[in-house]
Amino acid sequence: MSDADLEQLGINVIRGLAMDGPQRANSGHPGTAMALAPLAHVLWTKVMRHDPSDLHWPDRDRFILSCGHASILLYSMLYLTGGGLELKDLEEFRQWGSKTPGHPEIHHLPGVEVTTGPLGQGFANGVGMGVAERYLRARFGADVCDHHTFVICSDGDLEEGISHESASLAGHLGLGRLVYVYDDNHITIDGPTELSLTDDPVKRFEAYGWAVDSIGEVANDTAALEAALRRAMAEEDRPSLIVLRSHIGWPSPNRTDTKEAHGNALGEDEVRATKEILGLPADKEFWVPDEVLAMYRECIPRGQALHKAWKGRLDSCSGDRAELEACWAGRGMDGWHEKLPTPFEVGKGIATRKALGSCLNATLDVVPGIIAGGADLTGNTGTELDDQEQQSAEHPEGRQLFYGIREHAMGGTMNGMAQHGGVLPVGGTFFIFSDYMRGSVRLAALGEAHVIYAWTHDSVGLGEDGPTHQPIEQLAAMRAMPQLRVIRPADANETVHAYRVAVDSDGPTALILTRQGVPVLDGTGSAFEGVSKGAYVLGDAGSQPTVVLVGTGSEVQHCVGAAAQLAEEGVVARVVSMPSWELFEDTDDSYRRSVLPPGVPVLAVEAASPFGWERYADATVCIDHFGASAPGGVNMEKFGFTADNVVAHARALLAAAKSNTTNK
């Protein structure tokens, strides 16, 4: 068999696997994987620098399947090239406990760089990976970091708004080494793309500042595909989009260019007919002849040689290895905590967003992976860095990233930076606008991306901008998200502790911060352990409290004030600061009981929806309606966030508890 014939057989085997996986599962998307089998073949065997024996090699090329519904294509290539999958894993496609879920999930399977599926997210992740690669190359040199990011995206990716935002950002930043292939197959689940899409992607991406190469009907021409990829790889100063006209489901006799090839298994008869056209055994499933497997497994020694050469260059580098390792880990260097701001003066009014800014600037040298910025709110969110260059083509080492008014792109780009490694992204916006980036936040949580969100202007206390800008339900909604660590610090000192937790922990952390100044409270300066456990006793007038006042954020001060007033009445009130439900839930029962003793009435005070507080509190001082346009202090008073109102509610709670006891 000639080399050309063997390659063609390999491509047809990929198509066979793309049909067999969804057919066995009776679920999946075979058509895109079938059409793009030649592209995948070229990428894995001729273009990408990857080591199947070590899929986490830091200087590997990155591959993102933004159209994650075509996951069987990625799984097939990981199996064929020796990337940790066995044939049985393809046979268990989309089944319980398998390594091959319906959409690619990072940490679930080596070789998956980011979790994709919600369209457009992978597109934005690629932009973040481009930022990270360029930053590391500029900081540590090409011997340490010198690779490309390849992204396959679809019509659906380009329709989602996040792709517009992130494409605009990538063009503005002049990010080279980004190679996107747009699979222009003209099919969506509803039918032809012409039902809803008449954009000209060439003109659109040229306007964004991308290098665009419309290569037309060459989906089966491996030489043309390789040439286009290498042209794009040569672009150092702008991202590249290759527009490839493919035919979904090709060469299925009855499903090519149809919506049925998109979201459904082809059916046994159609699979058989298509295999006959391809010259594959029609009566065999998951057929991979030895010669095809041997051809693809040649990627292993080739990748190992590339990897070994990189290790040699790395060992020869004279740069700061501790700094490099801290970057790759997204952590601080040894002793970095000592650089944190010392406890702030008790009683001084400091907005917690400003305290975060103090933390970032104090630790830039010892947390070298930090790249921070906001969605047109950099100065407002505490993410403005002192004396740092703006991330740009002129300053690829820049650590200040201005995202513009692109919250959705900011979230997706941050995920890409974090999952690439080498960068700890910190992104800020008003808490209300976390709604715009929620899809990306969810994938950060699902994929355990190490990112830090600075969500500020956290309540009706932000003031005159009014209810459109005042978060009410956002706090409860974010707490409901699995694997997202939400911390709402009471003052500047708790903000320092929360920042330390965020840097030292895996996964995403949301810091919920105030616009307005809040007083530094007595006892918070030494409360790192308490904050790291999510809740702690801040003030206790006696060993056995009569009532517990639990507060978060700016409302803790009112709990402290209320406790003092109640003490004058002979009521022993314990004040508990509870910055993080998630961290508190991670503690053991004995600790939780020591903070919230059983049988003692609990009043929760928080300028947000009361939803969820029933797990801890018997009554609440919260807000279950939208806010108002007025000075922040006026809002807080009018809506009951004062020590006097907390006292009134505590009295009512105690009276109700006494009445219940009497009635029993």
SS3 at position 45: helix
Tokens of 273: 């007919």
Dihedral Cα 642, 648, 490, 381, nearest 10 deg: -40
What Rg value do the Cα atoms of the chain yield, rounded? 28
Instruction: Name the pLDDT band for 108 (thresholds 50, 70, 90).
Output: confident
Cα distance between residue 359 and residue 370, in whole Å: 12
pLDDT recorded at residue 209: 98
Q: How far apart are the first and last CA of the chain?
A: 89
Amino acid occupying residue 570: G
Tokens of 162: 């996040």
69: nearest Cα among 259, 291, 243, 300: 259
Q: Rounded mean pLDDT of the chain?
A: 97
Q: Is 407 a catalytic residue?
A: yes
Query: pLDDT of 490-503, one tens digit each?
Result: 999 999 999 999 99
Instruction: Name the pLDDT band for 664 (thresholds 50, 70, 90).
Output: low
Q: Hey, what domains does the chain have and what are their CATH numbers?
A: 3-306 (3.40.50.970), 329-519 (3.40.50.970), 533-663 (3.40.50.920)
Asked if residue 660 has pLDDT above 90, the reply is no
Cα distance between residue 504 and residue 376, in whole Å: 27
Higher pLDDT pick, 9 / 660: 9
Cα distance between residue 450 and residue 331, in whole Å: 10
Cα distance between residue 408 and residue 532, in whole Å: 29
Q: Output DSSP code: residue 116.
A: -
User: How far lies 656's CA from each of 619, 653, 660, in Å?
Assistant: 10, 5, 6
Asked if residue 293 has pLDDT above 80, the reply is yes
Cα distance between residue 296 and residue 13, in whole Å: 11
Q: Residue with structure tokens 């949580």?
A: 445
Q: Decide: 415 and 440 in contact? Cβ < 8 Å.
A: yes
- Give DSSP secondary structure letters for 570-611: T--EEEEE---HHHHHTS-HHHHHHHS-TTS-EEEE-SS--T
- Contacts of residue 659, defined as CB under 8 A and 6 or more positions apart, other chains included, come to none
Query: pLDDT of 552-602, one tens digit each?
Result: 999 999 999 999 999 999 999 999 999 999 999 999 999 999 999 999 999
Average pLDDT of the residues in 334-338: 97
Q: Residue with structure tokens 């080739």?
A: 302
Cα distance between residue 402 and residue 374, in whole Å: 6
362: nearest Cα among 337, 334, 335, 396: 337
Q: Decide: 79 and 87 in contact? Cβ < 8 Å.
A: yes
Instruction: Name the pLDDT band for 663 (thresholds 50, 70, 90).
Output: low
Higher pLDDT pick, 511 / 664: 511
Query: pLDDT of 344-397, one tens digit each?
Result: 999 999 999 999 999 999 999 999 999 999 999 999 999 999 999 999 999 999
Cα distance between residue 375 and residue 356, in whole Å: 16
- Contacts of residue 389, defined as CB under 8 A and 6 or more positions apart, other chains included, come to 395, 397, 398, 399, 400
List the catalytic residue out of 260, 270, 384, 407. 407
565: nearest Cα among 636, 647, 621, 642: 647
- Contacts of residue 221, defined as CB under 8 A and 6 or more positions apart, other chains included, come to 38
Q: Where are the alpha helices (DSSP H) in 317-465?
A: 321-329, 352-363, 407-420, 438-446
Contacts 24+ apart (CB under 8 A), 91-100: 91/21, 91/24, 91/285, 91/286, 93/21, 93/22, 93/24, 93/25, 93/28, 94/21, 94/22, 94/25, 94/27, 94/28, 95/25, 100/21, 100/71, 100/72, 100/75
